[in-house]
Chain A
Amino acid sequence: MPKKNKRPGKIKVWAVAVWLVIWQICALIIGQNILLVSPVTAFQRLFELACTGEFWLSISFSLLRIIGGFLAACAAGILLAALSAKFKYVEQFLAPFMLTVKAVPVASFVILILIWVSSTNLSIIISFLIVLPVIYTNVKDGIASCDKQLLEMAQVFRISPMRKIRYIYISQIMPFFRAGCSISLGLCWKSGVAAEVIGIPKNSIGENLYNAKIYLDTPDLFAWTVVIILISLIFEKLFIYLLDKGIQRLERI
């Protein structure tokens, strides 16, 4: 049995520790909290924030909306990719839309959407728009790369469409979908929070970042940034773990 390859991009604790030390040294050299806070100060502030109800309210607000947009985009991306693979006209029809969504800057979308809807639901739409083309493209590529020989085998053995999707398509599309999720989860957090900073919906992470900027509260800025990184990482790991478990379950005959 071949040895399992070590994941090249896996983050090592020692590397994180070295970067924290570099950060601490830089902060000590600069010596001004307003320009660069030390990691110790940032984590102290984070701990203080974590003891307040508003902190968790802001996290819940942004998390629900950004992840809601992500999940909706996953569902729509899969559905549209399946339709595109089946009907060439759907693919041709969607191509300009997907290209435009990919190319338009987030800021333009944010301003345009703020004209149409309230800032409360802005991050849902932004994260949806950022994630949709990534998932759509990846799933479409996955469908296109499905093993034709296996599909012919399924045809001869009269395997039902549902079983074909479950046991042949899903396992072959999964690496593409997984990669798409991994990329877009980072993107949806970045763009979702950026949208909140522009739209400033009440009780959002974006509002807290905006306030930190207005009041030159650098420790708050760093603390909230750490929060975003942590939520993004935790959710990505959790989502990919659940996805893998779900697929394993689904593929059991």
Chain B
Amino acid sequence: MEVTINHLFKSFGEHTVLNDFNACIPAGQVTLLTAPSGKGKTTLLRILMGLEKADSGEISGLEGLKQSVVFQEDRLCENLSAFSNIKLASPQLKNEMIEEALAKVGLAEYAHSPISKFSGGMKRRVAILRALLADYDILFLDEPFKGLDAETKALVMSDVKQRSQGKTVILVTHDPTEAEILGAVYTIEL
């Protein structure tokens, strides 16, 4: 079922971020959400995820959908290992499955090391894997590949494409090639 956004308004004080915004996000497809910086992409994602309330407007089609997300920030528990961070979000996952997924993105030997010892790129890979391995119907990707080098980015992007096949994905990125590789069919401009 598609997600429909009707007449959405959102302001922060005097600053209006979303002004009568309307859109339709098709189910089972990758949709690219694009706009210049500061125009409300993240705010829209936050409203869709239920982390922010719109001032007015209607959103339908999200009811009962399980969500997953890669935030702009990694948002990992620094005291836990990469393995435990993934397990925290998806306790139903089998241990071998998590270890296998970590190995696929080059983190096999660091699976049980604390996140606090990870580099920025390693943390990013864990944050992406956490989102991909979770049980979800709709996936929000807010500039997910930021901070990854070209080689790792290619590796991770192919993993994202494979694991999100047939799921509703909303991708926020400034890089059109990322949208192309992930197979974004629809584009919403704010």
Contacts and interface: CB of A to CB of B under 8 A. Distances in A.
A171 B77 contact: yes
Interface stretch (A68-76, A150-158, A224-232): A150-158
Contacts, number: 51
A251 B66 CA distance: 26
A167 interface: yes
B70 to A, nearest CB: 10
B97 to A, nearest CB: 14
A253 B134 CA distance: 16
Interface in B71-129: 71, 73, 75, 77, 79-80, 83-84, 87-91, 117
B51 interface: yes
B50 interface: yes
A171 B88 CA distance: 14
B69 A156 contact: yes
Given A155-B51, A156-B51, A157-B68, A163 B75 contact: no
Nearest to A163: B88
B157 interface: no
Interface string A220-253: 0000000000000000000000000000000111
Given A155-B50, A156-B49, A253 B87 contact: yes
A22 B75 CA distance: 54
A149 interface: yes
Contacts of B73: 149
B51 A152 contact: yes
Contacts of A252: 84
Nearest to B86: A253
A149 B71 contact: yes
B79 A171 contact: yes
B75 A149 contact: yes
Contacts of B66: 158
Interface centre among A152, A157, A158, A171 (most CB of B within 10 A): A157
Interface residues of A, number: 17
Contacts of A159: 88-89
A142 B147 CA distance: 31
Interface string A1-23: 10000000000000000000000
Interface in A133-149: 149
B187 interface: no
A157 B50 contact: no
Contacts of B67: 156-157
B80 A152 contact: no
Contacts of A153: 69, 71, 75, 89
A239 to B, nearest CB: 21
Given A152-B51, A155-B51, A163-B91, A253 B84 contact: yes
A251 B134 contact: no
A98 interface: no
A157 B134 contact: yes
A251 B68 contact: no
A187 interface: no
A212 B89 CA distance: 61
Given A150-B77, A253-B88, 4 more contacts: A1-B117, A156-B50, A156-B51, A253-B80
Q: Which 7 A-B residue pairings sit nearest by Cβ, starting from the closest?
A: A157-B89, A253-B84, A153-B75, A171-B79, A253-B87, A156-B69, A149-B75
10 contacts: A152-B71, A153-B69, A155-B50, A155-B51, A156-B69, A157-B134, A167-B77, A251-B79, A251-B80, A253-B80
Interface of B: 49-51, 66-69, 71, 73, 75, 77, 79-80, 83-84, 87-91, 117, 130, 134, 140
